[in-house]
Amino acid sequence: MNKKNKIKIVVNGKLLTVNIKYSLKNLIEKLKTPINKVAIELNEEIVDKKKLNKIFLKNKDKIEIVHFIGGG
Amino acid sequence: MKSDILKIANKKFKSRLIVGTGKYKSMKECANAIKISGAEIVTVAVRRVNILDRSKPLLMDYIDPKKIMYLPNTAGCFTSKDALRTLRLAREIGGWKIVKLEVLGDKKNLFPDMIETLKSTEILTREGFKVMVYCNDDPLMCKRLENSGASAIMPLAAPIGSGLGIQNKTNIKILRYQTKVPLIIDAGIGQASDAVEAMEMGCDAVLINTAIAKAKKPFQMAEAMKYAVISGRKSFLSGRIIPNFQGSPSTTKKGLI
C-alpha cells in the first residue's frame, strides 16, 4: 500500500525514494540547495529554475544538480 | 604608459594573468592566492553538488563572482557532447556567456582533441557563447578556431600541469603574428620566467594554475607571477634593443683620464 505512494529517483547518482506528486521544488528544498548557485538537469534537459514548483517527478527520473568548484 | 587594457569578448581587464582555482589545499588558500595574484578572471569547473554533505564550503562563498569574473571551464571533458552539456549548465548557474572550452583527447598527456574542440566551438558560438578555446599550438587549427568565432585562442605551452614552459616557441611566434583575437598561453607554465617569456613574445595573457597552487609557497609564487606578467608585458611594449654579438660600452670615452 505504502509503496504505491512512493517513486524512486536518482539525484547526482544517488538513489532516493520520495512521495508521488513530489516537485523539483520540494526536492531542492529538502536538500537545502542554494538555488542561485546551482544548475539543474532533469533527464539530461536543463530545467528552468523559475518553474521548479510546476515540475513533478516521475519514477526513475534522473536529476543532476551542479555547481562551481575549483578547477584549472 | 598609456592604459594597457586586455579586451576579451568586449569585456575589459587590467590584469593579464588568469588563474585557475584547482589543486589548492583549501578554498581559503585559493582565495588568498588569487587576491595576491591580482587576477580579475579565474577558471572554475562544474561538478555535482554533494547532496549528502552540505557542510562543505562553496567556492562562491570564498571568491565573489561579482568581484572576480568566473570563467567556467570544461576540464575533464573528453567529448564535444560532455563539453557542451557542461557549458550549458554553467550558463544556467548564473548567466555566464564567456566560457573556456577544453576537450581533451589523451588521458596521459592531456592534449586537446582538436576535431572535437573545433566542432564544439562552432556549436557554442552559434548558441551565443563567447568561447575561449584551449588548443594545441598548430597554427592551422588555431586559424580554423578563430574563423569559427573563438573569442580567444589559448594554446598550450606544454602539457597541463607539467611546468615545462614554452616548448614550441616558433609556433607561438607564428600564432602571435596571425591571431587577431586575444592569444593566451594556457597550460605548461612552471615558473615566473616562463610567464615573462610568453608576454615578451607578445601574448595577450597567460593562464596559470598548477605553477601557483603546487608551489611550496603559493602566495609568494602568485606574487611572482603577477610581476612576471607585468614585467613581460612592459618589456614587449618597450621595443627591445637589437641583439648584437659585439660589445657596446655603456659609458662614453670622453673625459677618460
ipTM score of complex: 0.89
The C-alpha of B216 sits at a distance from chain A's nearest C-alpha, in angstroms, of 18
Q: Could you tell me the pLDDT band of residue B249, with boundaries at 50, 70 and 90?
A: confident
Residue of B nearest to A30 (CA): B51
pLDDT tens string B36-92: 999 999 999 999 998 887 777 788 889 998 899 999 999 889 999 999 999 999 999
Strand pairing category for B41-48 and A39-42: unpaired
A1, pLDDT greater than 60:
no
Looking at residues B119-146, what average pLDDT do you find?
96
Map out the domains of chain A with their CATH numbers. 2-66 (3.10.20.30)
Of B95 and B35, the structure prediction assigns the larger pLDDT to: B35
Task: Give the Å distances, CA to CA, from B118 to B148, B199, B247.
Answer: 8, 26, 49
Q: What is the pLDDT of residue B143?
A: 97
Contacts with A59 (C-beta within 8 Å, 6 or more apart), sequence order: A7, A8, A9
Instruction: Determine, for residues A66 and B49 on separate chains, whether the beta-carbon distance falls below 8 Å.
Output: yes
B23, pLDDT greater than 80:
yes
pLDDT tens string A47-65: 988 898 899 999 999 999 9
Classify domain B6-238 at the CATH superfamily level: Aldolase class I (3.20.20.70)
Its sign, for the CA torsion B208, B213, B214, B215, is: positive
The three-class DSSP label of residue B136 is: coil
Its sign, for the CA torsion B45, B46, B48, B51, is: positive
Chain A residues touching B44 at Cβ < 8 A: 68-71
Cα separation, B78 vs B116, in Å, equals: 8
What radius of gyration, in Å, describes the C-alpha atoms of chain A?
13
pTM for this prediction: 0.90
Contacts with B88 (C-beta within 8 Å, 6 or more apart), sequence order: A46, B127
**Facing B160 at nearest CB: one of A67, A70, A72:** A72
Which residues 97-136 of B are in CB contact (within 8 Å) with A? none
| Distance from the Cα of residue B163 to its chain's centroid | 14
Q: What is the pLDDT of residue B158?
A: 96
Give the helix, strand, coil percentages of chain A, each rounded to 5.
30, 40, 30
Q: What is the pLDDT of residue A71?
A: 85
Longest dimension (CA), chain B: 83
Cα separation, B204 vs B74, in Å, equals: 22
pLDDT tens string A4-40: 788 999 999 999 898 888 899 999 988 888 888 899 9
Helices B114-126, B80-94: crossing angle, 10 deg rounding: 40
Chain B residues touching A37 at Cβ < 8 A: 58, 60, 93-94
Contacts with B252 (C-beta within 8 Å, 6 or more apart), sequence order: none
| Residue among B136, B179, B134, B132 at smallest CA distance from B151 | B132
Q: What is the pLDDT of residue B101?
A: 96
Contacts with B53 (C-beta within 8 Å, 6 or more apart), sequence order: none
Contacts with A30 (C-beta within 8 Å, 6 or more apart), sequence order: none
Q: What is the pLDDT of residue B16?
A: 98
A2, pLDDT greater than 70:
no
Give the three cell numbers for residue B186. Answer: 594556457
Give the three cell numbers for residue B100. Answer: 573556456
Cα separation, B127 vs A22, in Å, equals: 33
Cα separation, B87 vs B37, in Å, equals: 26
Q: Could you tell me the pLDDT band of residue B146, with boundaries at 50, 70 and 90?
A: very high
pLDDT tens string B196-245: 999 999 999 999 999 999 999 999 999 999 999 999 999 999 999 999 99
Give the three cell numbers for residue B158. Answer: 606544454
- The one-letter amino acid at B125: T
Cα separation, B197 vs B173, in Å, equals: 11
Instruction: Determine, for residues A68 and B30 on separate chains, whether the beta-carbon distance falls below 8 Å.
Output: no
Instruction: Determine, for residues B43 and A71 on separate chains, whether the beta-carbon distance falls below 8 Å.
Output: yes
B153, pLDDT greater than 60:
yes
Q: What is the pLDDT of residue B61?
A: 86
Q: Which residues pair with B18 in a beta bridge?
A: B41, B207
